[in-house]
Chains A and B, each alone.
Chain A
Amino acid sequence: GNSVTQMEGPVTLSEEAFLTINCTYTATGYPSLFWYVQYPGEGLQLLLKATKADDKGSNKGFEATYRKETTSFHLEKGSVQVSDSAVYFCALRNEGGATNKLIFGTGTLLAVQP
């Protein structure tokens, strides 16, 4: 079946450090891949997406590249800020399915210290 595996958290970084959060997936068909962010006490916000192999999604300095050969979609940011502290979820959607349901990983808590 379809599933998403994320690196365990929490990830604690100093401001301006480089961020990588690993995400790998298992899917049948041709999934689209997403990163969502959840700030404390809030719902999910779409951070970026990629819909086919080798696509790069980017937003607010975050990037992730859809790697079909390694079934990965790692999230990166060159210089994190305190305001980036949140929980990050990797997700996939099987575009050949009957619904638009998202399958999420367990989430990775990022804490950025000044």
Chain B
Amino acid sequence: DAGVTQSPTHLIKTRGQHVTLRCSPISGHKSVSWYQQVLGQGPQFIFQYYEKEERGRGNFPDRFSARQFPNYSSELNVNALLLGDSALYLCASSLSGYPGQGIEQYFGPGTRLTVT
């Protein structure tokens, strides 16, 4: 079975532009979460979606938005890009949207965004 897939792999944008990143979860998984990993740091939680509804949001500005589609794939949108948005954006999927003992999240390979 395919794992979590993300596209594109790499992306270069200019300050002020808009970007859309895409994620396809593992088949049967209904929850998708997005994380930002700045170079040299651990991933930071941005959003979680479950059954097409937002379940949680991290400490990120309103320039960041996301949505989940009926097939459970997801998009992360970032408007008015800043240099500080340069990072690896990771998507993770899980069977359930609820925390529970041992529910695992499976990560995709990430999208490397560079803002110049």
Interface residue? A94 (CB, 8 A): yes
Closest Cβ of chain B: how far from A42's Cβ, in Å? 6
> What mask results when residues 28 to 51 of chain A are scored 1 for a CB within 8 Å of chain B, else 0?
000010001000001111100101
Best-buried of A32, A44, A107 by chain B (most CB within 10 Å): A44
The answer to whether A102 and B102 touch across the interface, beta carbons within 8 angstroms, is no
Please report the C-alpha to C-alpha distance between residue A107 and residue B4 in the assembled complex, in whole angstroms: 22
Q: Tell me which residues across on chain B come within 8 A of A105, comparing CB atoms.
A: 42
The residues of B with any CB-CB pair to A shorter than 8 Å are 4, 31, 33, 35, 40-45, 48, 55-56, 58, 90, 92, 94, 96-110
> How many A residues have CB within 8 A of the partner chain?
28
A107's contact among B42, B48, B58, by CB below 8 Å, is which? B42
> Could you name 25 residue pairs across A and B whose Cβ atoms are closer than 8 Å?
A4-B42, A32-B102, A43-B4, A43-B110, A44-B92, A44-B107, A45-B107, A46-B104, A91-B42, A95-B99, A97-B56, A99-B33, A99-B55, A100-B33, A100-B97, A100-B98, A100-B99, A100-B100, A100-B105, A101-B33, A102-B35, A103-B45, A105-B42, A106-B41, A107-B40
Say whether A101 contacts B109, CB under 8 Å: no
Q: How far is the CA of A93 from the CA of B104 in the complex (A)?
A: 10
Chain A to chain B: the 8 pairs with minimum beta-carbon distance, closest first? A104-B42, A99-B56, A101-B45, A44-B107, A43-B107, A43-B109, A51-B101, A100-B99
Give min CB distance, B104 to chain A, whole Å.
6
Residue A89 is within 8 A (CB to CB) of chain B in the complex: yes
| Neighbouring A residues of B43 by C-beta, 8 Å | 44, 89, 102, 104
Closest Cβ of chain B to A19, distance in Å, is 19
Within 8 A of B (CB), among A26-83: 32, 36, 42-46, 49, 51-52
New A-B pairs, 6, CB < 8 Å, besides A51-B102, A95-B100: A32-B102, A42-B109, A43-B110, A94-B99, A99-B97, A104-B42
